[in-house]
A and B are shown apart, each in its own frame.
Chain A
Amino acid sequence: MSQQNDDGAEQTVAELMTQYTYARHKPPLAESREVLRARIPGWGADLDPADRPSVPQEVYDPAASGARWTFPERQPGGEGRERSVEHAFLTPVFGTAQPLRGASGALRRVAYRRFSEGRAAHWLLLLAADRVDVAEGFVSAAVRGRPDNLVAETGVLSERRRHGLSSRLGRGRADVVHHALDPVVVAGPWVLASVASYRVVRRIRGARR
């Protein structure tokens, strides 16, 4: 490995390192500012930090946002809504999508009431509740007459139209090795739940006989 110096003489990397990196200088760039300015539209337009809108990131300027209030009017309907224990009170404005319900809701309420955001238990309980929620949603959708279509909802039926094979194979993609895990992640819990349900039903029937 070598490159030419300004005089056209070959220098090894080790020789070059004695001029920069291991000595005081920074390795030279291949392109000058003139070349870069000609090649890249807008090169250096924000060179001056004063032209960068988030420099510095924190600037005290209460008028900049356009807010006309010092504390927002409170949104009604927040009684009983879950909140982080790290908040002093329910925030004046909050989301109302998908309120707590069912067993997943009970788990989530425990996570919010008992554990701060700094505790792993808070997040692990919420993740567990998410899985319970999926099972509850599956049952309630079926009851409502709009059952889940476990295949169509994954979008996997578009594989052929979206060139699934040619997009993955022969392209040196690093992620292909774990694509096979995706069906396991999606279908695995359903297979396990089905097997468990079958065994429970068989055991109950056996006990009755």
Chain B
Amino acid sequence: MRAMVYRGPYRIRVEEKDRPRIEHPGDAIIKVTLAAICGSDLHLYHGMMPDTRVGHTFGHEFVGVVDEVGPDVRNLKVGDRVMVPFNIYCGSCFFCARGLYSNCHNVNANATAVGGIYGYSHTCGGYDGGQAEYVRVPFADVGPALIPEWMSDEDALMCTDALATGYFGAQLGEIREGDTVVVFGAGPVGLYAALSSWLMGAGRVLVVDHLDHRLEKARTFAHAETINFAEHDDVVVHLKRITGFLGADVAIDAVGAEADGNLLMHVTSAKLKLQGGSPVALNWAIDGVRKGGSVSVMGAYGPMFSAVKFGDALNKGLTLRMNQCPVKRQWPRLFEHIRNGHLRPSEIITHRFPLEHIAEGYHTFSAKLDGIIKPVIVPAA
């Protein structure tokens, strides 16, 4: 089969690989019809995630058709059109029994601090991902779900991570009616988090970024006020000014490990790999939220230490909440919102690349060229 493979920092190509096989009775093999490149894939692409091996196939956002099932699989059959959450999880361990599907203890031999994720290095379990023609899906009776007939593949694809994560991030912010919510990052997760904040009754939603096309999308798609941090000497002071010197009630970090806005932080993390991630957006969230407020962290960070301003978080009495999203828990309610027209997930997709051109897709997304917001990979194109 054809699959994207990692060759080293900033280098990928498409190679012929063996088609995955059933390795456990609960496995299924999915023929991928659509995959997406996630902003967090860029951390792998840039060589930031420890134990990212040459030959690894990325991709934790994908939908497809069931091609083969293991002998124990009951809920899926060959030919079913399915969406797969980015979490790999058993459904039965201590954590899964408590709904913490993203923290499953039975699928990632390489680490206990993170669950299993498709195509996200061996630190996240060593499973090849979905930017390929086929992918192995463990615990096929637990993770995947049939795509509702009324839902498009592109909408379903957005539900496998970005939309679910943005919606989850707004929930962790514990938004109350009339709250002012500031979202750092106008990428897919930030846009969805901003939109979800309105669903939870926010009275004002502000989105911070430096890319003009993304800020425009935040205004038109997420109905938010926008702040271009590159236009302000100190974005925290600006945030204080426009919130009556109080600060936002809730801040959501939807940027993560490669945040810009402080050259030293960016270079020491994204380029020199001396930190688990550049905590610029997280520190702005901590400083920009009001005392007693909440910070929800949806941006992905690596396992190494980062220079987070913990003293400010303590002294302000903040509630810091974070996790990888347990995707499938979000789906029933998200499906209602999509069906009611409250959410239109695929409107953020800007680019579609054939699998054979995936190197172009990664470069365009990494360098933020051509007005890109969300790129999708089409294996069969």
Contacts and interface: CB of A to CB of B under 8 A. Distances in A.
Nearest to B90: A72
A31 to B, nearest CB: 7
B244 A130 contact: no
Nearest to B262: A174
Interface string A177-199: 11101100110000000000000
Contacts of A68: 141
A7 interface: no
B263 interface: yes
Contacts of A78: 109
Taking each of B174, B177, B359, which has the highest tally of chain A beta carbons within 10 Å of its own beta carbon?
B359
B77 interface: no
Interface string A65-86: 1111111110111100111101
A94 B12 CA distance: 24
Interface residues of A, number: 108
Interface string A118-135: 001001001101100110
A149 B97 contact: no
Contacts of A164: 367, 369
Q: Could you say which of A31, A58, A60, A130 has the most chain B C-beta atoms within 10 Å of its C-beta?
A: A130
Interface in A29-78: 29-31, 33, 36, 39-47, 51-55, 57-62, 64-73, 75-78
Interface in A80-102: 81-84, 86-87, 90-98
B106 interface: yes
B91 interface: yes
Contacts of A72: 24, 26, 90, 92, 106, 139
Contacts, number: 319
Interface residues on B, range: 35 or more
A10 interface: no
Contacts of B200: 44, 46-47, 52
Contact of B199 (A42, A92, A171): A42
Contacts of A138: 8
Given A75-B24, A154-B363, A27 B369 contact: no
Contacts of B337: 42, 45
B171 A130 contact: no
A6 interface: no
A200 interface: no
Interface in A10-34: 13, 16-17, 20-22, 26-27, 29-31, 33
A4 interface: no
Given A46-B200, A167-B367, A92 B340 contact: no
B333 A185 contact: no
A27 B246 CA distance: 8
Contact of B23 (A75, A83, A126, A133): A75
A149 B111 contact: no
Nearest to A94: B109
A205 to B, nearest CB: 30
A173 interface: yes
Nearest to A17: B245
B212 interface: yes
Interface of A: 13, 16-17, 20-22, 26-27, 29-31, 33, 36, 39-47, 51-55, 57-62, 64-73, 75-78, 81-84, 86-87, 90-98, 104, 108, 112, 117, 120, 123, 126-127, 129-130, 133-134, 136-138, 141, 146, 148-150, 152-159, 161-164, 167-168, 171-175, 177-179, 181-182, 185-186
25 contacts: A26-B244, A31-B203, A42-B199, A42-B340, A43-B199, A46-B333, A62-B97, A65-B101, A72-B26, A75-B23, A77-B23, A84-B109, A94-B107, A95-B109, A98-B53, A117-B111, A130-B51, A161-B360, A167-B369, A167-B370, A174-B210, A175-B260, A181-B267, A186-B9, A186-B11
Which 8 residue pairs are nearest across A and B when measured between Cβ atoms?
Answer: A42-B342, A155-B363, A95-B126, A27-B244, A67-B91, A65-B91, A137-B54, A126-B50
